[in-house]
A = this chain, B = another copy of it.
């Protein structure tokens, strides 16, 4: 449930209809985990937002101002979810950027996350989506507001028996989940998708890659067809809110929450308290 919103520092529920975020999806977002009145992974989210703003040529908000607003909003919150949206701001008709840009910064504080602890322990069931991710290096990696592919994919299943959906790209490569990144293990080695042509480079994906490296687990990044998952020893998905969830079911196949997944979960818990 949504608790409160700040738009450019002001409490409100509303935004200008001429905002280019609505008109064109012309903006970026971050979904942040709030813990004990803090945003523990702030710096990583900030770095990705910075990269996204640079890519879309949207002026980056001042970090101090943003942090001030964030802290005013999350003070006293033990556990919550904060969504940060930056748009190019209001504009007249047409795709051309306004000559004077006044980006909108939106902070939305919600309850949660309230996922059952069993997802982390025993794993989740992965639905295989028909919707594919279009290939476009210009938009790959960043967390922009053009999310119709994710919306279509997520709405392919209604059953609560599936907690996440697997997305391939239009060439059939394994890419990510609708709201997470995907990793798999084969013969003690870790694998994940190359996201230079589509997908979102998740903050938790980055952390898992670092932890794997620190612990001598080999990581392979590339483009693979979905048959690699049929052959995997372990599969898991990651994002900033969930940390690591083992995948216990995919393609009519059941898997255990395997030793590499559990090792990475423990290291994540020890180092980042997630």
Contact = CB atoms under 8 A, between A and B. Distances in A.
Given A56-B148, A151-B26, A170-B136, A93 B110 contact: yes
Nearest to A198: B134
A34 to B, nearest CB: 13
8 contacts: A13-B18, A22-B22, A22-B145, A81-B93, A92-B110, A94-B179, A134-B135, A135-B135
A24 B24 CA distance: 10
Interface of A: 1-2, 5, 7, 12-26, 56-57, 81, 83, 85, 87-88, 92-97, 106, 108, 110, 112, 131-139, 144-155, 170, 178-179, 198
A149 B145 contact: no
B198 A25 contact: no
A15 B138 CA distance: 29
A198 B108 CA distance: 33
Number of copies: 2
A94 B29 CA distance: 13
B2 A147 contact: no
Contacts of A7: 17
B155 A148 contact: no
B135 A170 contact: yes
A175 to B, nearest CB: 13
Contacts of A87: 22
Q: Which of the listed residues A22, A85, A138, A139 has the most CB atoms from chain B within 10 Å of its own CB?
A: A22
A147 B145 contact: no
Q: Identify the 5 closest CB pairs spanning chains A and B, nearest first.
A: A25-B25, A134-B136, A134-B134, A146-B146, A95-B154
A72 to B, nearest CB: 17
A92 B138 CA distance: 29
B135 A131 contact: no
B5 A17 contact: yes
Contacts of A97: 151, 154-155
Contacts of A92: 1-2, 110
A128 B99 CA distance: 22
A138 B151 contact: no
Contacts of A56: 148, 151-152
Nearest to A1: B92
A225 to B, nearest CB: 18
